[in-house]
């Protein structure tokens, strides 16, 4: 242990964040990292616990506690403290394919499970991770790692989100020849078109993709498997196939007036803005505009927050965000003890920006939409919203959120963004491969396995486990690669 009293000697210090009214003028990342010397003090705050919950990644009360990748957190923190940056990078790379992604977009499950979180502020593990990988890039330590020997086996990965990229990276380094198919015009999946640029600069993504190409991974964009190429054709060309297409079916809001114009699913909205930003810096106008409009975001979570932040940058007149569930407690409640994931109120960057611009939090809790009202041209102009309360369903016995009679209210809404989550995999893909599904329409595998009901066809990521975090997608990709390698070679050293 480097500094036994580090957590007492140093206060937690985060990266400098640009003020909300300044950062809404652009779509760039707005956090300025600490200097390496300052970051070393943050590494000193880690106590290197005898039982490090931060790297456990197990499930407690139905939620993950600690890092699903089982990153060697106390070891890397200690190496940061001692200034052994190259060794810290090498240690981190043992368990993690893409720390440059998670250090920007992960909610930091490691920090929630940090022992310092019991009575103070957790170790800044997420920013330590970002400092490690960015310093490694700057120092030239992150180099292509093409395999010295090829196995002669060919693997197709369908989907280029975090799970597909992790699968491809691992299998390619093992020596298999990997081709990644992506239906969009650019590689990255959710990382590209589901996460705004101010949260994950696409140059960071392009940097990693270039490295993977230099290692020998082949990327094919604009190929929609199941439409442009059949499953049978792929089976003939490749020894194994990995389905990593995400949970791409957005949950809809089926109420009167849903057929109004200017109602979009969140990912379609975010994707249109990012694509226009990358193509022309928004000059082509080929995106869903929020300028001068009253914007209604339905749903909380990261995606709902991203919609709020993006709408504000595009000049929204107002933003309202509806959340079905009650407002969380500011502090942990007795039934949510450490090291469970804390079910507490979180105000993210988009909500911070809305408060700065409009003077109030955009979120309205225990509320949903009852009806959309059109204008004479068929465009949405208002929404009827209704309060919700928790009641036990007589048939199932479960607690349900149900409308409160007489609580209706009509608000302006000229652009509606549905960020209500996802329901599972898309039918045309699973039909093409004839894979069995579970009741939630995720691709079915044996418990703890990754091979589908179709021999030689595997799955990973949200398509397998349902809508989840980027860090879980990467872990799924790594584990699926291990299963594919075992299937091809009879053993695995991944």
- pLDDT per residue as tens digits for the range 320-331: 999 999 999 999
Q: Which of 365, 394, 418 is the last residue before a domain boundary?
A: 418
pLDDT of residue 4: 84
In a domain, 356, yes or no: yes
pLDDT of residue 393: 84
pTM: 0.96
pLDDT of residue 248: 87
- What is the extent of the structural domain holding 329? 263-418
Shared domain check, 286 and 165: no
**Domain CATH code at residue 23:** 1.10.1060.10
For the segment 88-147, what is each residue's pLDDT rounded down to a tens digit?
999 999 999 999 999 999 999 999 999 999 889 999 999 999 999 999 999 999 999 999
Shared domain check, 410 and 393: yes
Judge whether 387 and 366 are in contact, CB under 8 Å.
yes
H or E element at residue 152: none
Separation between Cα atoms, residue 45 and residue 4, nearest integer Å? 8
**Domain CATH code at residue 270:** 3.50.50.60
Q: Measure the N-to-C terminal CA separation of the chain; round to a whole number of Å.
A: 29
Read off the pLDDT of each residue in 421-437 and give the average, rounded to a whole number: 94
CB neighbour list of residue 276: distance below 8 Å, 6 or more residues apart: 282, 284, 285, 286, 287
179 pLDDT above the threshold of 80: yes
pLDDT of residue 468: 93
1 pLDDT above the threshold of 80: no
In a domain, 113, yes or no: yes
Shared domain check, 242 and 100: no
Shared domain check, 405 and 372: yes
Shared domain check, 128 and 52: yes
Shared domain check, 409 and 271: yes
pLDDT of residue 399: 87
Dig out the tokens for 124 from the structure. Answer: 């800044």
For the segment 54-86, what is each residue's pLDDT rounded down to a tens digit?
999 989 988 889 999 999 999 999 999 999 999
Q: Give the pLDDT band (50/70/90) at residue 23.
A: very high
pLDDT of residue 247: 93
| Sign of the alpha-carbon dihedral angle for 213, 216, 217, 218 | positive
In a domain, 148, yes or no: no
Read off the pLDDT of each residue in 478-488 and give the average, rounded to a whole number: 98
Shared domain check, 25 and 170: no
In a domain, 334, yes or no: yes
H helices within 389-457, ranges in order? 427-433
In a domain, 144, yes or no: no
Mean pLDDT computed over every residue of the chain = 96
pLDDT of residue 372: 98
For the segment 194-225, what is each residue's pLDDT rounded down to a tens digit?
999 999 999 999 999 999 999 999 999 999 99
């Amino acid at each position: 242990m480097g500094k036994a009293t580090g957590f007492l000697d140093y206060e937690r210090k985060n990266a400098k964040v640009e003020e909300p009214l300044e950062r809404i003028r652009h779509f760039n990342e707005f956090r300025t990292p600490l200097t390496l010397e300052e970051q070393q003090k943050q590494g000193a705050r880690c106590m290197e616990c005898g039982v490090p919950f931060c790297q456990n990644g197990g499930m407690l009360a139905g939620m993950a506690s600690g890092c699903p990748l089982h990153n060697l957190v106390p070891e890397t923190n200690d190496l940061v403290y001692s200034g052994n940056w190259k060794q810290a990078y090498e240690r981190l790379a043992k368990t993690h394919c893409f720390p440059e992604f998670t250090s920007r977009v992960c909610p930091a499950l490691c920090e929630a499970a940090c022992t310092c979180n019991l009575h103070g502020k957790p170790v800044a593990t997420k920013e330590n991770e970002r400092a490690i990988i960015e310093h490694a890039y700057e120092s030239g330590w992150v180099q292509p790692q093409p395999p010295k020997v090829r196995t002669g086996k060919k693997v197709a990965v369908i989907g280029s989100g975090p799970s597909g990229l992790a699968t491809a990276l691992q299998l390619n380094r093992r020596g298999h020849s990997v081709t990644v198919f992506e239906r969009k015009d650019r590689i990255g999946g959710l990382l590209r078109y589901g996460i705004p640029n101010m949260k994950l600069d696409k140059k960071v993504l392009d940097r990693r993709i270039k490295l993977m190409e230099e290692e020998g991974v082949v990327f094919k964009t604009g190929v929609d498997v199941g439409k442009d190429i059949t499953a049978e054709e792929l089976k003939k060309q490749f020894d194994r196939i990995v389905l990593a297409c995400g949970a791409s079916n957005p949950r809809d809001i089926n109420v009167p007036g849903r057929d109004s114009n200017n109602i979009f699913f969140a990912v379609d909205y975010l994707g249109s803005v990012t694509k226009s930003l990358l193509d022309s810096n928004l000059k082509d106008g080929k995106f869903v505009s929020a300028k001068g409009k009253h914007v209604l975001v339905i749903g909380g979570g990261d995606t709902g927050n991203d919609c709020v932040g993006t709408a504000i940058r595009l000049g929204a007149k107002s933003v309202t965000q509806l959340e079905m569930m009650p407002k969380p407690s500011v502090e942990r409640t007795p039934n949510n003890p450490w090291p469970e994931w804390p079910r507490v109120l979180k105000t993210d960057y988009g909500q911070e920006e809305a408060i700065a611009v409009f003077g109030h939090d955009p979120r309205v809790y225990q509320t949903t939409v009852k009806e959309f009202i059109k204008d004479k041209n068929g465009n949405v102009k208002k929404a009827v919203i209704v309060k919700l309360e928790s009641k036990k369903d007589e048939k199932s016995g479960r607690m349900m959120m149900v409308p409160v009679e007489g609580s209706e209210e009509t608000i302006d809404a000229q652009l509606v963004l549905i960020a209500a989550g996802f329901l599972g995999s898309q039918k045309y893909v699973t039909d093409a491969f004839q894979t069995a599904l579970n009741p939630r329409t995720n691709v079915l595998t044996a418990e703890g396995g990754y091979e589908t009901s179709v021999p030689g066809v595997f799955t990973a990521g949200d398509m397998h486990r349902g809508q989840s975090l980027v860090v879980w997608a990467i872990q799924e990709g790594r584990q699926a690669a291990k299963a594919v390698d075992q299937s091809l070679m009879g053993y695995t050293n991944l």
